Amino acid sequence: MNNAGVLTGRPILRLKPEEIRRDFAINVFSQYWTILEFLPDMHRADHGHILSMSSTAATAGVPYNSIYCATKFANKGMMESLYLEQRQDAPTCRVKWTTVLPFVVNTGMAYEPRTRFPFFMPIVEPEECARTAIDALLRDEEECFVPPRYSLYCTYKSPKTPSSLPKSSTRQTYLAKTRILPSAILSIMSSTYPPNVANP
């Protein structure tokens, strides 16, 4: 289970190069090193399960969280790529891949996290996140949201444009809408981090 993560929430012009390198080293590179350590043995045993703790920040950008969002997009992209890589190179391999995308979890990473509409999008407690992640792992789910209903609130940025939209201007409008909606939902549902970041 790849679960290490840090958050540095500030406007980009106030970020230091060493902070960017540190956050990528912990949030992204550590997941590669862990996978490279264990995956060969999993392949030899034809058995295993890799779980990556990503975030709903992997579905849309959040103001003042450019590093965190970038690292979580990277986690999600890495897991999708490795899953498809295995399907192509070793389709009978029984190693499983699960990506978990929780909303804000009350771990102390952000000081007193809050949301504007807690009934629709509550702060997630660590125990709930752990239970949902383990349940997804036992069910061999490729991806799960915490809370699960978040998947209903968020429209994915589809990599494919419907073939029924031939004109380039129409296709651009479609792509713009599929990119704007997730960001709008996150902005409406969540509060901003900078005033409450635990590691300013």
Averages of pLDDT over each 10 residues, the chain, 200 residues = 86 95 95 96 95 88 90 94 93 93 78 70 81 90 81 53 44 44 51 45
Q: Is residue 6 part of a domain?
A: no
pLDDT of residue 56: 85
Contacts by residues 36-44 (CB-CB < 8 Å, ≥ 24 positions apart): 39/95, 42/95, 43/90, 43/93, 43/95
Residue 166 lies in a domain: yes
Catalytic residues: 68
Q: Look at residue 65 and tell me if it is in a domain.
A: yes
Q: Which domain holds residue 49?
A: 12-196
Task: Give domain status of residue 58, yes or no.
Answer: yes
What are φ and ψ of residue 153, in 5° steps? -85, -20
The DSSP secondary-structure symbol of 112 reads S
Residue 5 falls inside a structural domain:
no
First to last CA, the chain: 27
Give pLDDT, residue 124: 79
pLDDT value of residue 187: 52
Q: Cβ distance 82 to 38 under 8 Å?
A: no
The side-by-side arrangement of strands in the sheet containing 143-146 is 48-53, 95-102, 143-146
pLDDT of residue 182: 52
Provide the number of structural domains found in the chain: 1
Query: Are the C-beta atoms of residues 38 and 48 closer than 8 Å to each other?
Result: yes
Q: What is the pLDDT of residue 153?
A: 63
Number of residues in the chain: 200
> Does some domain include residue 2?
no
Does 43 fall in a domain?
yes
Whole-angstrom distance, CA of residue 24 vs CA of residue 61: 16
CATH number for the domain spanning 85: value is 3.40.50.720
- 164-200 burial, b at 16+ Cβ within 10 Å, e below that, comes to eeeeeeeeeeebeeebebbbebbeebbbebeeebeee
Asked, for residue 171, whether it belongs to a domain, the answer is: yes
What pTM does this model have?
A: 0.74
How many angstroms separate the CA atoms of 137 and 70, rounded? 25
